[in-house]
Chains A and B, each alone.
Chain A
Amino acid sequence: MPPYRSIVASSCLLAVLATPAGRAEPPSANFSRDVLPILSENCLLCHGPDAGTRKADLRLDVAESALRRDDPIIEPGNPDESEFIRRLTTDDADEKMPPAKSGKALTAEQIAILTKWVDDGAKWGKHWAFEAPVRPEPPAVARPDWARNAIDRFVMARLEREGLHPAVEADPATLVRRLTLDLTGLPPTAAEVDAFLADHSADAYEKLVDRLLASPRYGEAMASDWLDAARYADTNGYQNDFARTMWPWRDWVIAAFNRNQPFDQFTIDQIAGDRLPGATLAQKVATGFNRNNRTVTEAGSIEEEYRIENAVDRVETTSTVFLGLTLGCARCHDHKYDPVTQDEFYEFLGFFNNVNEKGVYTETRGNVPPLIAVPSAEQEARIKRLDAEVAEATDAVQKSEAGLDARRSAWEETLRSEPAPADSADWGLRFPLAGDLKSGGTYRGQGEPTWVDGPTGRALALDGQAESHVDAGPGWKLEPADPLAVAFWVRPLGDGACLSQMDDQAAFRGFDVCILEGKVTVHLIHAWPGDAIKVKTKDALPRAPWSHVVVSYDGSGKAEGVKVYVDGEPAATEVEADGLKNTLASDQPLRIGRRSASLPLKGELADVRLDRRNVPAEEARRLFQATILDVARSADPDRTATRKGLLARYYREHVDRELPPLTARLAALQAQKAEVEKAVPTVMIMEDAPTPRPLHPLKRGQYDLPDTSRSLTADVPSSLPSLPAGVAHDRLALARWLVSPENPLTARVTVNRVWQRHFGEGLVKSSENFGLQSEPPTHPMLLDWLATEFVRMGWDLKDLHRLIVTSATYRQSSRAPAQLVQRDPENRLLARGPRFRLGAEAVRDNVLAVSGLLADRLGGASVKPYQPEGLWEELAGGAGEGPYVQDKGEGLYRRSLYIYRKRTVPHPVMATFDAPSREICQVKRARTNTPLQALELLNDVVYVEAARSLAALMIEKGGTAPEDRIAYAFRRATAREPNQDERRVLLTGLTHYLEAFRADPAAANALIRLGERPIPASIDPVELAAYAATAGVILNLDETITLE
C-alpha cells in the first residue's frame, strides 16, 4: 500500500500566490499593472465611468479628474500631502475610504503600492490591455541553454525571480500522448507511440508536431473550443427548443482550422463574410457564427424584445470572443469599471442592428431566415447536371411547341377529308343553352340570362347569386335501380351545382352533379348521409378552360356504379358515401346551376343532357370528340376564340405524338431537381436589411424604452482605436477593425485562449475578460510577445500552436513535488508541464479510440449516440421534436463534437464533464471532479461497451499471457508500460474477476451483452466479461482521462 503520509506532509499555511508577482520585494508601483487593478476593485464602483452612481464628482479612472489641480486630491511626489492617501489611512470611520458599508477594504500592501505610486510622481497611464502590445525582447536568463524558443526565456525569467527551477523534460511516451491528445483530441495509436519512441533523430518531436497539425483531427479538436465560444448548437434554445441546422457552419469551422485559414481572415469571414465584395458561399456560411444565438419561437412573445436580445447576444459574444471585454455590462448603464459608456454599448450594437430577421418566429421549426442552401459537393454536381438536362428538355419542348400549329393544321386537313361523325344516341332531355331557352327551362335569376361564347356555340353564364339558375321542368321520379346519365360542358369559375333534382330540406333527397373545390362531385341521395352515394373526382377541373363532363350511374345502388368522364376519359374518383337503398324522388324540379336552395354555380354551362340509361365509356368519349371534330372541320372564320382554344388544347393533349412525351420528360426532371434541392441543408447566415433601422439608446436597456430623442451611429468604443476615416460603419468595418494591427486586444485575447488550451489556464486567467477587473497576466511580457509574434506570423494558428508546444516549457514533466503543489497549485508559474483532466469531448473520444470503437468520419449532420431513455420527455423537452431517437451503428461511435446539442436538455456525456449548454458564449470551461463523473464512466453503456470492446482487443491482439494482455490495454490507454505494482494490481484483479464470472456465467453473459456491437463469438463469455472488468478499471484510471 502506498504511504500517503509522505505526500503533502506539511500543513504549513503558505500563501498561495496572493498576487501573480509573488511580492517578496518592496512593491513596484506601475500604474497599469499595480495601481489600476486596486482602484478598479475598490474605488471605481463609486468613482468610475458610470455617471449614474458617481460620488463626489470624482473619477479615479481618468487622469483629468484624479490628478485635477483644482481642489487636488493627489500631490504627485508627496503622499503625505495627498488627500487620496489620507482617506485610505485615516481612522475616522466617516472619512475612511473605501467606506465600511461597501464591504471593500484595502490591505496594507495595497496601500503601500498606492503610496509608492504617489511618491513616484503619480504617473498616469491606461489599463494595460487597452494599450497596443509592444514587442518585448526576451529577457536574459541564467540558464539560456534550457530555452528552446523565446517563450522559455520569459518563463525562465519568472522562475528565476521566484527561485524555482523548471522540471525535467517529460519522457517520450508521455510527450507523444500529451501532444496527440492536445492537438487532435485523440490518443496516439500504439504504432504511433512506437514510431515516436524509435525515432531518435534530433527533430523527432518537431516532426511529430507537424504530422499532428496536418491531421484532419486537428481541425475537429480546435473546433470543439470554438463551438463553445460561438454558442453553436443543434436547437434554437428557447421553450420548445426546436431543431435547427447549423452543422454546415460547424463543418466550415473544422475545414477553416484544417486549411489553417489565418485568424484575421477567419474573423472577417465570420463577422462579415456576407459583406465582402464577391462573397463566396463559404464566406456567407461563415457568418453563421452570429446566427448561432438562441432564437425565440414561443407563442405570444414580443418581436422587438427578442430582436434586441438577439443583437445584445451578438454584442456580448463578439466582444467576449475577440476583445475579451464584457460590453454587456454597459447595456443598462455606463460600465462600472471599463471605459465603455452606455451609448457606446448601443453604438456597438449598431453593427448588429440591421440584420434582416424577426425577433420571434412563432412556433417555427427548423432554420429561420436569413438563410442559404449549402449543397454538398455531390448534391451540387447533381443539381448542375439536372440544370443542364432541364435546360435541354425545355429547349426541346419549346421547339416542339413552335411546330405545333403546323402539325395541327395538317391534322385538320385530314379530318376534313373524312366523313362527318354521327352525333351520339338521343338523350331523354337536352338543354343546349345555345343563346336561348327555347328548347326548355325557365331562368329564375334577375333579369335576362347572360349568354357567352362556348364550345358548342353560345353558353349560359351563371354569376353564383342565390337565385341565378334555370328551372328545367319536372324531370323524372328516380328510383335507386334506375340508371342515370348526365353530360355537359362546363367552365367553372367557382363551386356550385351544375345540374340537380334535389330537396335540400328533405335530407338532400335527389341527385346532383356539382363542382366542389373544383372537383366533379356526384350525389345520389335518399337521406344524407346514411342512404346515399357520394363520389368525387380526385383531381380538380382546370379553372379557366372548358371541360366536358359525363356522369353515368348503373342503378346498382353502389358507388362503384358511378363513373365520371372528363374530356372523354374516365376520371379517378373517391367515394365518400356508398349505399343508396331508397327513392330519389321528390317534388323538386330539375335545376341547372343550383340545388333546391344551395350551391348556386359560378361558371358557364353548355349542352346539358340527361338520360335514364347507363352510358358506356365509348359514348362518353365520342360525345366529347364530336364537339372537337366539329370545330376542326369548320372553316377558320367560323371559329370563335373559345372553340379555337378548345381545339388547340385537344390537339396538344390528345392527338399530337411529339409534344406530350417531351413535356412529361421536362416535368419529371423538374420534379427530380426539386427533390434534390429539398434535401440540401440550409444554414442561417447574416444579412442586413436594405433599409437601416434607426439606432437609439435604450433606457435601462429595455427594448420598449428607446430614447428616440437621440440617434446613434454604429461605432467602436472611444477608449479603443477608432475605425479608419472614410469607411462605412458596418459589420465589415468592425470585422477589419477587430484584426487591425492597432487593436490592442484581439491578438492578446486569442493567444491567451490558445495558451489556455495547452496549459489548462491562460496567462490571463480570466480569459473571458481583459478589462480592468481582469486578473493580471502571470507573464505580461510573454503575453505581449506572443501577441505580436502571432500578428507578425500572419495570424497563423498552426504556427502559434507549433511555437507553444515546441517550447521547453510545454515539454516539461508534469510531475509535481509536494512543495511545488503547495506553492503553485494551479501551475501558473509553469515550473512543470500541464496535467489536467481532458475536456468532455476528449474524455469520450479517447475511450472510444482506446477501445477501438471510434468512427472517424468527418463532418455532416449531428449524431445521437446512447442516451438514457426519457431524458427529453421528462422535461417535456421532446415537445419540440418528439423523443430522442438513438442512432444505429456508426452514429453511436462518432466523435463527441458531432453529438446532437439540444440546448435545454444537454447530453449527459457532455454536461457531466463540464461542457456548456451553449446557450451563451463561453470561452473557458470549468474542470470539475465529481461523483457523477465516476458513475458515468463506470456505468453508462457507452463506457461499459467500450470496456468490453477493449477486452476483446486484449484477447485477440494482446498476446496470450494475461500479463501481456493487461500491458497491451494499459498501453493503449496511457501510452506507457505499466510498472510492477500496476501489473500486480491488475493481474490479481483479473484473476479475481475470472473466478467471479466462472462462478456466475449468467452475470458474464449479461455484462457482455450491453451495447449494440455484436459479441465476438470466438471468445468465451466468462473470459470476455472478466477482461471487460479489468478493461473497465483501466478506462476509469485518472491517468486515462487526464492529459499528463
Chain B
Amino acid sequence: MDELQIAQEMNRRLFLSRSGLGLGSVALGSLLGRDASGKDAATPEAAGGGAVGAMPGLPHFPAKAKRVIYLFQSGAPSQMDLFDYKPAIRDRRGVELPDSIRMGQRITTMTSGQKNFPVAPSIFPFAQHGESGAWISELLPHTAKVVDDLCIIRSVQTEAINHDPAVTFVQTGSQLAGRPSMGSWVAYGLGSMNQDLPSFVVLLSRGRTDQPLYDRLWGSGFLPSRYQGVKLRGGKDPVLFLANPSGCTPELRRRQLDDLGELNGLRHQETGDPEILTRIAQYELAYRMQSSVPELTDLSGEPKSVVDLYGPDVQRPGSYAANCLLARRLAERGVRFIQLYHMGWDQHSDLPNQIRAQCRDTDQASAALISDLKQRGLLEDTLVVWGGEFGRTIYSQGALTATDYGRDHHPRCFSIWMAGGGIKPGIVHGTTDDFSYNIVEDPVEVYDLNATILNQLGVDHTRLTYKFQGRDFRLTDVHGKVVKSILA
C-alpha cells in the first residue's frame, strides 16, 4: 500500500467521521487511537483552530487560549521567599507563631511534634518591579523583568498536606488515584491541532531535593488511555521506542511498513473489521512521528539570540531550560496541553541555599518562555501557568538561625502566576495575612484555578464530563468557580 492510498483511505475515513458515522475517528492529529467501543465519535469542525477529535459542542464558547503550558514546580516553592512579600514580620525572627494565626489548623507529623513554631521571615530582599510594581524577591531577577506580563495569585489554597495527594489533586482534581489528569481532559474535550504530534505532552526535569512524581499525574484515569500525556524524554529516544533499532535503516523500515500495511489491508478485506484500518493509520502516524518528533526536539535551528534568552542550561537535554524552549516549540506546533514538571522545591531544611540553586535553575528559562512567546505573538492565545502543589510554613522546621531555616508543607495559601491566554497581565490577586499563613482576601481553590484554565480554553468546566460508573465525572468534581476578576 503506498502513501497515496493511505492518504485516500484517511480522507475517506475523515469524511465518514465528519458525516457522523460512528466508526471512530482516525487519529489524524493526536494520538487518538480509538477504543473498540467507538463511542468517541468526533466532530472535527467543532473545535477552533482546525482541531480534530474534539467532543461535540466544544469549545462551549470562544476560547481565549488555544493551548496551555503548565510549568509545574513540584515539591512546593516557598511563597514568602519568592512572591508573597511580608515586611510586617521582617523583624520578628524567632518569635512564636501566634495561636491567633495558627488557629489549630492541621500540620504534618513532621513538625507536629515540634515544641516551638518560631517565625522565620524570608532572608531575601524584595523589590518592586515593572509598571505594576509587584514585589518580587531577589531570587527571581528574570521573572521580575517580565512581571508586567504576569498575573500573580498569592491566595491559592488546597486541601492536601502531603506531596502525593497534593500533586495528584492539582493535576487531576482529586487527591486519590484514578481520575484523569487535566491535560487528558483537555485532549479529550478539545482534540488536537497537530497531525503528527500528541495533543498532550509531558516534559520532566530534575531539581535538587526531589520528591518523586507518578505516571498517574498525566494519566487518563477512566478516560480512554489515548488521552494520556505522552512523555518526551531528554536523550536519543524523546518518545519511548521512537528510534528504529540499530541496523534498521529508514528505507528498510519504510519497506516493512509498506508490506505490513498491505498485509493488514488484505486482512481487512477478509475480516471486514474497521479496527484494522485504524491500526494501519496508527502505524503511519508512528512513522510520521519518527520525523516530526526529532524535528521538534532538535534545537540546532534556533537562533543564538533565542537560545541565549533561556540561559546556558538550555544546551543540556532534559534540563528545565531545554524543556521551556521545547514547550515553546510544542506550542508553535499546536500541541494542546504542554505539561512541564520541575522537581526539587521541597525545602524542609537548608532552605536558603537550596532555593537559591533551585531559582538559578528555573528563573531565567521561565521568564524567557514568556518573552519568547510574546515576541512571536503566541502569548496571546497561550495560557502559561507557574505553580506547585501547596505552600510552605512561615515557621521554621528545625533550627532557625540568622542564615538558615527550613519550612514544612502549608496548604492554607500559596503563590502561583499565570500569563497570556486572556489573563489580565500585570496584576496581583489575593492577599494573605502578615505571616503568609491564612488568606485574608480572594481565596482561590485548586478547583477554581482548574475551572479558570478550562474557561480560557473555551470550556465550561461543569459541562466537560465523562460518564463512568454511572456518574458524570468532571475535572472540578462538584466544585469550582472561574476567577472572573483576573480575566482580561
Contact = CB atoms under 8 A, between A and B. Distances in A.
Interface of A: 1-2, 4, 7-8, 11, 13, 16, 103, 237-241, 294, 296, 298-303, 309, 326, 329, 336-337, 360, 362, 704, 760-761, 766, 768-769, 771-774, 814-818, 820-822, 825-826, 835-837, 868, 870, 874-877, 879-880, 903-906, 908, 911-912, 914, 917, 919-920, 926-936, 938-941, 944, 979, 981-982, 985-986, 989, 992-993, 996, 1000, 1002-1010, 1025, 1029, 1032-1033, 1036-1039, 1042, 1044
Q: Which of B33, B242, B274 has the most CB of A within 10 A?
A: B33
Given A905-B214, A939-B242, A939-B244, A934 B282 contact: yes
A799 B246 CA distance: 49
A694 to B, nearest CB: 21
Q: Which of A302, A876, A919, A1010 has the most CB of B within 10 A?
A: A876
A11 B15 contact: yes
Contacts of A1039: 267
B278 interface: yes
Interface stretch (B87-95, B149-157, B254-262, B300-308): B254-262
B275 interface: yes
Contacts, number: 312
A2 B276 CA distance: 14
A760 B275 CA distance: 14
A337 B467 CA distance: 14
A56 to B, nearest CB: 21
Nearest to A299: B110
B270 interface: yes
A1038 B279 contact: yes
B458 to A, nearest CB: 17
Contact of B469 (A766, A929, A1007): A766
Nearest to A1004: B247
A825 B245 contact: no
Contact of A1033 (B15, B16, B260, B289): B260
Contacts of B235: 870
B272 A927 contact: no
A414 B118 CA distance: 76
A927 B36 contact: yes
B248 A876 contact: no
B451 to A, nearest CB: 17
Interface in B452-485: 463, 467, 469-471
Nearest to A819: B272
B131 interface: no
Nearest to B224: A926
A737 B151 CA distance: 58
- Tell me what chain A mostly uses at the interface: helix, strand, loop, or mixed: loop
Interface string B281-301: 011011001000000000000
Q: Which of B247, B266, B285 has the most CB of A within 10 A?
A: B247
A298 B276 CA distance: 46
Given A917-B216, A928-B34, A1036-B283, 14 more contacts: A300-B108, A769-B470, A774-B470, A826-B36, A826-B37, A875-B212, A876-B211, A879-B212, A932-B241, A933-B282, A934-B286, A982-B263, A993-B252, A1038-B267
B470 A919 contact: no
Given A329-B469, A836-B36, A935-B242, A816 B271 contact: yes
Contacts of A1008: 247
A938 B163 CA distance: 37
A929 B279 contact: yes
Nearest to B207: A876
Nearest to B110: A300
Q: Which of B215, B242, B253, B463 has the most CB of A within 10 A?
A: B215
B297 to A, nearest CB: 15
Q: Which of B1, B34, B216, B245 has the most CB of A within 10 A?
A: B245
A13 B21 contact: yes
A326 B178 CA distance: 14
6 contacts: A301-B109, A773-B471, A876-B211, A928-B33, A934-B283, A935-B289
Given A930-B282, A1003-B247, A1010-B245, A816 B252 contact: no
B219 interface: yes
B164 A298 contact: yes
B249 interface: yes
Nearest to B288: A931
A936 B282 CA distance: 12
Interface of B: 1, 5, 8-9, 12, 15-16, 19-24, 27, 31-38, 106, 108-111, 161-164, 176-178, 204, 206, 210-216, 219, 224-226, 230-231, 233, 235, 237, 239-249, 251-253, 255-256, 259-260, 262-276, 278-279, 282-283, 285-286, 289, 343, 408-409, 463, 467, 469-471
The 10 closest A-B pairs by CB, nearest first: A773-B470, A1007-B247, A300-B108, A1006-B247, A919-B177, A930-B33, A929-B33, A904-B214, A934-B286, A931-B286
B63 to A, nearest CB: 20
B259 A985 contact: yes
B336 to A, nearest CB: 16
Contacts of B38: 16, 825-826
Q: Which of A240, A771, A875, A1036 has the most CB of B within 10 A?
A: A875
Nearest to A836: B36
Contacts of B36: 760-761, 826, 836-837, 927
Given A326-B470, A929-B34, A818 B19 contact: no
Given A298-B163, A300-B109, A993-B255, A876 B15 contact: no
B273 A835 contact: yes
B247 A1037 contact: no
Contacts of A1042: 275
Given A868-B237, A929-B34, A985-B259, A13 B19 contact: yes
Given A1006-B247, A1037-B260, A818 B272 contact: yes
Nearest to A935: B241
B213 A300 contact: no
A985 B204 CA distance: 43
B275 A1 contact: no
Nearest to A912: B240
Contact of B215 (A837, A917, A1009): A917
B252 A996 contact: yes
Contacts of B279: 929, 934, 1038
Nearest to B463: A103
B239 A932 contact: yes
Given A874-B204, A905-B214, A926-B224, A931 B110 contact: no
B416 to A, nearest CB: 22
Q: Which of A879, A930, A931, A1036 has the most CB of B within 10 A?
A: A931
A296 B168 CA distance: 14
B263 A938 contact: no
Contacts of A241: 212, 214
A815 B270 contact: yes
B267 to A, nearest CB: 5
Contacts of B213: 875-877, 904
A769 B282 contact: no
Nearest to A927: B36
A985 B239 contact: no
Contacts of B162: 239, 296, 298, 300-301
A364 B36 CA distance: 42
A298 B32 CA distance: 36
Contacts of B9: 4
Contact of B240 (A329, A920, A936): A936
Contacts of A8: 16, 23, 274
A434 B248 CA distance: 92
Given A11-B21, A932-B240, A1003 B249 contact: yes
Contacts of B237: 868
A326 B471 contact: yes
A238 B164 contact: yes
Given A298-B162, A772-B470, A837 B259 contact: no
A391 to B, nearest CB: 46
A329 B470 CA distance: 10
Nearest to B205: A874
